Structure 1
Amino acid sequence: MLKTALADDLVYMEDRLLDEYILNDVGKIWIGPKNSSRGREWVFGQFDGCILPAIMFMLEMSEMPYQSRGDPIKLTRMISKMVNNNDDDNGVVVGRWDGDYADGTAPSAWAGSVDILREYWETKTSVCYGQCWVFAGVTATICRALGIPCRVVSNLVSGHDANCTLSIDRYYDENNKELDHDPLNEEGMDSIWNYHVWNDVWMARPDLPPGYGGWQAIDATPQEISSSSGVYECGPASLEAIKTGAVGFNYDVAFMVASVNADLTRWKRDPKARLGYSRISCNKYHIGYMLLTKKPWIFDPNGDQDREEITLQYKAKENSPEERISLYNAVRGSSFAKEFYELPSNTDEDVELELVNLDTIKIGDDFNVTVTAINKCTSVRTLKIHLAVKSTFYNGIVAHEIDKVDGSFKLKPQTNDRLVLRVTKDKYLSKLVEYSNMKVHAIASVEETSQIWADEDDFQVVKPSISIKIQDEVYTKVPTPITLRFTNPLQTALTKCKFNISGSSAIRSQVVLYPDVKPGGVIKADTQLIVSFPGSHKVIAVFDCNELRDITGSALVEVFDEQ
């Protein structure tokens, strides 16, 4: 609750929370699929000397009127637009998701915002390349530098609603083959990101009714053009408005509702249906699986003790009456969405099917994908099941098909069976793309009842982390030996290797080049660390090469005054 005594300060926040959301210059951003997400260290570096000049240049590029720059509502909306370059406005970072970064820096190779904003300021041109968590890290740096409390938010299993239906829609033909386009939307198709990252900023909202101040979502990743402006910007959207489905309030509330709380609906071609497709399934629990941010005042270099779940700040408990009411309240605000939510399901379901979620898979391990089927009725049921595994980019775009299997069998009354697909390392290692994400897709039909069932699961093949070894006694301005170490998990050589070492503003950033690494070889890099002032500091290392990306590690070091 914002204090009315300080209503003239639109970004007022309690002093102790400012230590985290304004002053903290190193944090974490949670990335990865729901079952294997991890906190990736990020150096915000808002006190570095290059940050304010870079921000001032960004403001000039935005052509934002000077008289509007003191309004946090307008300012954060502009920041969500200018951190990306999708409007060809010389924004800070160019987005890219196809794995080809030869003419720039791979998103996973960045250790923080400072190098990005320094390059932006020095070159006066957009920096290549970023993805959602890079956009969010840069946004947090800019907001904190300007005195706007800001946190980074990760949405595990994030919906991208491309046509304002407030649902994420999958379409199938008469033979249960999934379509690679949206037949009802020529502009694009819905997608599900393994995870998506944006920011919350803290402010009063005098433009909205009382109760809608506090945390506001802004998203600097260019996904959809904002309906209210015609450019790539998103927010600030009140979390209270998102939670209650108040889609009529500024800004982009409906898009954020779909991101965290849309239903995942599957449709099969049906000439007799009103839209030409009949709904065959609806999953109310898939989208917005969990929303995470860094817990204030804690930094855990070796685990997730600093992780804070904030799902209930964005929506009521899943499938509770309050959650359904808020979603339907949002649906009532869109005539197009009403059509998608009012069409009934007409299937007779007496076979229970389940896609077994995978636990953590270490890179190089074989694994099984399993669908179980239980016949709950007193008659025989004939099942046809299709099961496939694909490598994907984290935004849901398929890269390669890895393996698939089709099964057909009769299931006796009151019995169960399963279809198993064994995936070996030889099948998937060469087809992995950055971040090593994979998607399992399953669809089944029951001949006697025309029941159709489909499900999907995202998971990540887990890579090793960097071990950082530093001597116990570290003093300011004295070169201190530091060793970075991990083992190449691949059966291929690693080429063009480098470490990016960074940390809080007291630590001088550096890049350490490393020779090619043989298959399964141990990587051990020795260098020196120089810290400019005493205290508890965070050291962050990122490894990058042509064949293996997104290898990170961190450590806490206590630094004493020079001897």
Structure 2
Amino acid sequence: MRRNKGARLVVRRGQAFRMKLTLSRRYYRDRDAISFVFMVTGVEKPSYGHGTLVVTPLLPENTESQDIWSATLVDAYDNVVIAQILTDPECIVGEWNFEIDTKLMHDGALSYSHPDPFIVLFNPWCPDDDVYLESEEERKEYVLSDTGLLYRGSYNRMRPAVWKYAQYEKDVLECSLYLAHTVGEVGLHGTYDAVQVARALSAAVNSPDDYGAVFGNWSTDFSGGTPPTKWVGSMKILQQFYNKKKPVKYGQCWVFSGVLTTVCRALGIPCRNVTCYAAAHDTQSSLTVDYFVDEDGRVMEELNSDSIWNFHMWNEVWMTRRDLGTTDFNGWQVIDATPQELSGRKYQCGPTSVVAVKRGDVKIAYDGGFVFSEVNADKVFWRYNGPTQPLKLLRKDINGIGLALSTKAVGSWTRQDITEDYKYDEKSSEERSSMLKALKQSASIFSRYYLNEEFNDIKFDFELRDDIVIGSPFSVVVKMVNKSRDQDYTVTVILRVDAVTYTGKVGDSVKKTKEEVVVKKGQTEEIVLHVSYEEYYKRLVDQADFNIACLATVHDTNFEYFAQDDFRVRKPDIKIKIEAGEPVVGQEMTVSASLINPLPVPLKNGQFVLKDQALRNN
């Protein structure tokens, strides 16, 4: 509670708090009676049945009440009474008004209405609350901590960034209640249920269908708002939204996730950010991500509705799932505020049990199939030969989706890998069993899993060479090993590099090569595509991501090999050196910063010069 003019009393349900009453005269235990009346703010006709009205008498010291709400005398002296109030651990979360009714010793009565409501939150410290979290260290991390790490980048180049949740700042709690009650449409009667509140918040943080907090924008034009990469915390977003009641521009998945963590923690729901690298967006509920490739090795964007994001960020909330009728699915639940697919006529997702996702129980409420696909879909590549020709299965990849699931470690500014919470090891029989179980529940079409004709004579290995710093060249290589003892093969190989957004949308072509090579029996051949900085720097988009692809056709056979991968060029490493003395908090000091890797600077004539930038700062 802030100790200023606008201070509000904030309590957690199921946890006792004390109230000091100053009376007009001395309180007599044996002749005076006091009762407390609590009413949910904003309800026109509060009632006992709806849980919006509670009346409890002040009981003598050391009295155990059988009621779920209680008021017990702690002390009385002169004209002061100190009472201990205990709220119901399942009561409505939100603002409560209260009145104090007194019955005097001469049969008179007085009533006092307090002008300011107090706020009741969920309580992870209370074993009877559905959001109870046993570990104190985890409560500190997932409820009390106002700063965390969000992981972006790609699975082989992870980029942590600090995010300020700021759940204790001005208007943030009030905005969180507004998002749950009004925008999320839980209603005042429904906010006792953590499951429904979490689901409503996943809808209320985005704006497409309910005018929620954050306006999404995945283009490159951020005029009229703030680019998503410029946000470093939730405070300004929520304060602006609460004051203007208009969506704040602009957000992408990490912004939605960071804001959702703030709102959940403000209301007392344990919450953490989770990043899934190579996350699938399955638009057809097939549990597969389908790509169509033309004769040129180009992924046909016009036919693709599914996609794989370099990374996607959602949230986990901790709670009991009494609505599922079993304790098997208690614990971490996925909710996602990024507007991707409609669920129940809204852009909302979850909560769905992480345990259920791992088991392949995709019918478990809510949105289990969608989350399962994000972390464990099969990637399927089809050769498209025109509208009148059947599709040909080129390849299926069962290992390429749902990599390096990451969150901030408890009590440490390091990464915690939680991949095994979501899925079994990709090469295990348990993982395939989970996938088949999910497919059967979704009634998927099994024809897409027909295997290509067996052909094992040539082994293909597709790789990206070099740790790529912006400004450096890189190479894409396909290696072909002919394992046959008696036959040579002619192979046509197409290698290409395309710019790609972090959501997986392929953009401009950077470079492409098409070569034909004879791979003799027992021999190895390589085809290499070299890409210089001059060739790719003008096509760098948002987070400097690229897609590399290989289509190889073995002549006189029915075999084609296709592979692709995403990668990201990284920023140069910066070396910071303290010039003199020891650093002291709050005092200026002199340091020098220099780029370890030189940057090429383009000249007007198309040539480049290497420049090692160095600067000195106070």
Same fold, TM exceeding 0.5?
yes
Give per-residue Cα distances to partners, 1:241-299, cap 9 Å, x unaligned.
100110111011111111101111111236999x9313221111100121111110012
Instruction: Return the match for 1:296 from 380, 399, 410.
Output: 410
Query: Shift of residue 38 of structure 1?
Result: 2.0
Question: Which of 333, 336, 339 is residue 219 of structure 1 equivalent to?
Answer: 336
CA distance in 2, matches of 1:142, 1:468: 36
2:305 counterpart of 1:189: yes
Q: Deviations over 1:4-41 (max 9, x none)?
A: x9663110002221011111111111111111112111
The answer on whether the counterparts of 2:297 and 2:549 sit within 8 Å (CA) in structure 1 is no
Q: Which of 459, 471, 476 is matched with 1:369 structurally?
A: 476
Higher relative contact order (CA 8 A, sep 6+): 1
Q: Which residue of 2 aligns with 1:441?
A: 549
Letter in 2 for 1:75: V
Q: Pick closer, same or farther for the CA change 1:482–1:80 going to 2, 3 Å.
A: farther
Query: Cα 1:520–1:169, aligned 2, differ >3 Å: closer, same or farther?
Result: same
2:279 to 146, 152, 158: 158
SS of 2:479's equivalent? strand
Q: Summarize deviations over 1:313-362 as a string: whole Å, max 9, x none.
A: 00011120110001110000112344434x34334232111111345311
**Match in the other structure for 1:10:** 130
1:251 to 366, 373, 387: 366
CA contact (8 A) 2:499 2:541 kept: yes
Q: 1:57 deviation in Å?
A: 3.1
TM-score by length of 2: 0.73
Find the aligned partners of 1:484 and 1:248 in 2 and give their Cα distance: 57
Q: Is the 8 A contact 2:477 2:526 kept in 1?
A: yes
Amino acid at match of 1:154: T
Residue 265 (1) aligns with residue 380 (2): yes
What pairs up with 1:410-559 in 2 under 5 angstroms?
Answer: 410-464=518-572, 472-474=583-585, 489=599, 491=601, 522=614
* Counterparts of 1:519 and 1:58, CA distance in 2: 50
What SS does structure 1 have at the residue aligned with 2:464? coil
1:125 CA drift (Å): 0.9
Q: CA deviation at 1:116?
A: 1.5
Q: State the distance in 2 between where 1:137 and 1:490 align.
A: 35
Cα deviation, 1:497-535, whole Å, max 9, x if unaligned, reads: xxxxxxxxxxxxxxxxxxxxx987556666xxxxxxxxx
**CA contact 2:453–2:558 (8 Å) conserved in 1:** no
Cα deviation, residue 410, structure 1 = 0.8
Find out whether 1:242 has 2:363 as its counterpart. no
Is 1:282 matched up with 2:401?
Answer: no
* 1:102 matches 2:223: yes
Letter of the 1:451 partner, please give it: F
Which of 459, 467, 481 is residue 352 of structure 1 equivalent to?
459
User: Cα–Cα, structure 1 residues 12 and 484, in superposed 2: closer, same or farther, change >3 Å?
Assistant: farther
Aligned residue runs from structure 1 range 165-204, under 5 A:
165-173=286-294, 176-182=297-303, 189-204=305-320
Structure 1 residues 492, 102: closer, same or farther in 2, change over 3 A?
farther
State the Cα distance separating 1:46 from its structure 2 match.
1.3
The answer as to 2:177 corresponding to 1:56 is yes
Matches within 5 A, 1:17-32: 17-32=138-153
| Cα distance per residue 1:471-506 (max 9 Å; x no partner) | 73336xxx867989676946369xxxxxxxxxxxxx
- Which residue, 482, 505, 510 being the options, matches 1:397? 505
1:392 Cα deviation from its structure 2 partner:
1.3
2 CA distance for matches of 1:232 and 1:254? 15
- Whole-angstrom CA distance in 2 between matches of 1:416 and 1:237: 48
Alignment of 1:292-331 (within 5 A): 292-299=406-413, 306-331=414-439
* Length, aligned pairs only: 479
Which secondary structure does the structure 1 equivalent of 2:201 belong to?
A: helix
| 1:510 alignment partner in structure 2 | none
Q: 1:491 to 1:117 in 2, by over 3 A?
A: farther
| Alpha-carbon shift at residue 397 of structure 1 (Å) | 1.1
RMSD: 2.6
Deviation at 1:169, TM superposition (A): 0.7
**Is 1:387 aligned with 2:495?**
yes
Report the CA distance shift for 1:85/1:23 in structure 2 as closer, same or farther (over 3 A): same
Of 71, 75, 83, 2:197 maps to 75
Q: Which deviates further from its counterpart, 437-446 or 170-179? A: 170-179
Is the 2:237–2:248 contact (alpha carbons within 8 Å) kept by the matching residues of 1? yes
CA contact (8 A) 2:470 2:569 kept: yes
8 Å CA contact 1:468, 1:482 repeated in 2: no
The verdict on how the C-alpha distance between 1:486 and 1:252 changes in structure 2, with shifts beyond 3 A counting, is farther
* Distance 1:484-1:38 versus aligned 2 partners, 3 A rule: farther
Query: What amino acid is the match of 2:363?
Result: G
Secondary structure of the residue that 1:396 maps to in structure 2? coil
Cα distance in 2, alignment partners of residues 40 and 370 from structure 1: 32
Describe the superposition over 1:86-130 as per-residue Cα deviations: whole angstroms up to 9, x where unpaired.
21x221111111121122111111111112112212322111111
Q: CA deviation at 1:84?
A: 1.1
Assess, with a 3 A threshold, how the Cα gap between structure 1 residues 95 and 272 changes in structure 2: closer, same or farther. Answer: closer
Q: Is the 8 A contact 1:364 1:425 kept in 2?
A: yes
AA aligned opposite 2:334: A
Q: Distance in 2 between the 1:57 and 1:490 partners?
A: 50
User: For the pair shown, which has the larger CA radius of gyration, 1 or 2?
Assistant: 2
Q: TM-score, normalised by structure 1?
A: 0.80
Work out whether residues 464 and 486 of structure 1, in 8 Å CA contact, stay in contact via their aligned partners in 2: no
**Letter of the 1:243 counterpart:** K
Q: 2:322 aligns with which of 206, 217, 222?
A: 206
Q: Deviations over 1:217-243 (max 9, x none)?
A: 1111111112xx022111111001100
Q: Tell me the residue number matched to 2:346.
A: 231
